[in-house]
Copies of this chain bind each other. A is one copy, B any other.
């Protein structure tokens, strides 16, 4: 058996090998990847399929002078192995030393940190444009998978590429992404190109003004070297369509394992039941029970069903009540608005970080049009995730959209009640932030009262949401059973308001305060789209400190609204009272990269002890 890999500390070492030695290197890398993945996990299927292509790219091109941009970048393991980072995949003591994504802080061979789908072509166009403007040289290569191609921005990039005149090489890794689900559209076109070995007249890329070349066996490293050699230093944009076998080397499972199929970073199939899956399945089961009598009820997932508890079995049983739109968040939200306005009941589920793509459609087609649909936000809040998948900004992203009702359940029961409302009597656009692991842990412990049997205070006479002028769109509170905050524990002096997954922390802080002789009020706000001014005003009677706790970014988030409310209304109260002191707890305005959650909680002071101490000091 060969031992080439051990001698490769960068692309220049690779170039010393002969082409006929490369298949042996590919075998070594494939074996290493299998060993690595069994011990460590990761997106192994797409990386296995790309072993030969990545070797060929680095054999032919001269990174980092030539720029190779890996779309989404979780198929970059082989690239990392060939660019000085092989030990992170071959030495078990170093597994985990590198991130699953490319990162310029890690290597000069990584032009970008990337984790969202479809931007590689646009980025490559930009690099090519800068090179041509500044009189530089070198190749710019974007490597993108067929699954990513359905993503909106990839199309915009292809269209721009068709307008550029200089060197630009788009390598399309076609591993027949479209097999598992019934995808048509441009996937039919790719299928025709495969069948015709690239000769079909119907050719999306030529239709967009791009040159095109097909490589039938994308796992034949010599063929790839020939193809890349021929396009190296080409003077115009070209698509090199390579047909690869995803999961090559996995044996019987080759290309057939669904958990490897959707190469989305959050599709952690096989991992234990976390909050995402627990509450996702709970929600899906509740909806499925209604399918027979509600033909218009439709669950929509933009390519991320598995990680959100939408299991293969559930999908099969759901039939026409389920639709996977591919990786197309923008379309998915506008589509849901269309379903809703035509009388259907859409429920769209995906990660907070991916909803960022649909920010405009959430504002315009969904909220402004008051489309009666439900968005289920998974993975919101701070976590130990990598920097491209942070959910810490979800409260600010959704909570500030005029016209959108944003709910944050604190238990499975409350989630189901909210979902029943949003898909029924609500008749308005609603986003529900799925409960997280703190809620799940609290429910398992039975450590705090679930929704129900509690009280509201103050009269709901506030003007928020009271407009009915035609020229104004606000978030309606009328008919919303969660518009009022609930006092779950009556106390005085200090009121703790904990939003959604931060609610258990507020409860725990109250227990800390008990031990210090203060019986604090605890409040479940239920929602983060409007503030319940009746409750906030009523608190003035016997509280001087209000503490808000949220597990997301403070700036632009929810607690600041309460601080601002008290600040701007203190002096307008009928009876002049002492100004309320408001202390907001939440995350800093930063993106963190695999920083453990416990570390973040310490850093942000999001611990019951710290919250209790700060509240006491403010009395």
Q: Does A17 contact B (CB under 8 A)?
A: no
Smallest Cβ distance from A596 to chain B, in angstroms? 10
Let me know if A256 is at the binding interface, CB within 8 A: no
Interface status of A48 (Cβ within 8 A of chain B): no
For the complex formed by this chain, how many copies does it contain in all?
2
Beyond A153-B152, A159-B328, A185-B163, whether A119 also contacts B582 by CB under 8 A is no
B472 near A119 (CB under 8 angstroms)?
no
A338/B129 in contact, CB under 8 A:
yes
- Contact call B129/A402, Cβ cutoff below 8 A: no
Give CA–CA (A554, B399) in the complex, Å.
12
Whether A163 and B189, one on each chain, are in contact in the complex, defined by CB atoms closer than 8 angstroms, is: no
Say if the beta carbon of A105 comes within 8 Å of chain B: yes
Residues of B within 8 A of A338 (CB): 122-130
B208 touches A186 (CB 8 A): yes
Known contacts being A119-B334, A162-B185, A185-B160, is A568 close to B593, with CB within 8 Å? Answer: no
Q: Are A335 and B126 in contact (CB under 8 A)?
A: yes
B residues within 8 A CB of A155? 152, 155-156
Q: Is the pair A208, B201 in contact by a Cβ cutoff of 8 Å?
A: no
Q: How far is the CA of A207 from the CA of B190 in the complex (A)?
A: 9
Q: Are A186 and B160 in contact (CB under 8 A)?
A: no
Interface string of A554-578 (1 = CB under 8 A from B): 1111011101101110111000000
A116 contacts partner chain B, Cβ-Cβ < 8 Å: yes
Cross-interface CB contact of A581 among B186, B359, B364, B570, cutoff 8 Å: B570
**Which residues of chain B have C-beta atoms less than 8 A from A567's C-beta?**
563, 566-567, 581-584
Could you tell me if B153 and A556 are in contact, using CB atoms closer than 8 angstroms? no
Chain B nearest CB: distance from A147 CB in Å?
Answer: 12
Bits for A392-434, please: 1 = Cβ < 8 Å to B, else 0: 0100110110110000000000000000000000000000000
**Complex-state Cα separation, A588 to B473, whole angstroms:** 11
Find out whether the CB atom of A472 lies under 8 angstroms from the CB atom of B592.
yes
- Is the CB–CB distance between A595 and B472 below 8 Å? yes
Say if the beta carbon of A184 comes within 8 Å of chain B.
yes
Q: CA–CA, A589 to B398, complex, Å?
A: 12
Q: Which 5 residue pairs of A and B lie closest in terms of their CB atoms, listed nearest first?
A: A126-B338, A152-B152, A162-B185, A130-B344, A156-B331
- Given contact pairs A136-B342, A530-B589, enumerate 19 new A-B contacts (beta carbons under 8 Å): A104-B369, A115-B364, A126-B336, A126-B344, A130-B296, A130-B342, A159-B186, A160-B325, A162-B184, A163-B183, A186-B208, A201-B201, A357-B359, A400-B589, A555-B564, A563-B564, A564-B564, A567-B584, A568-B584
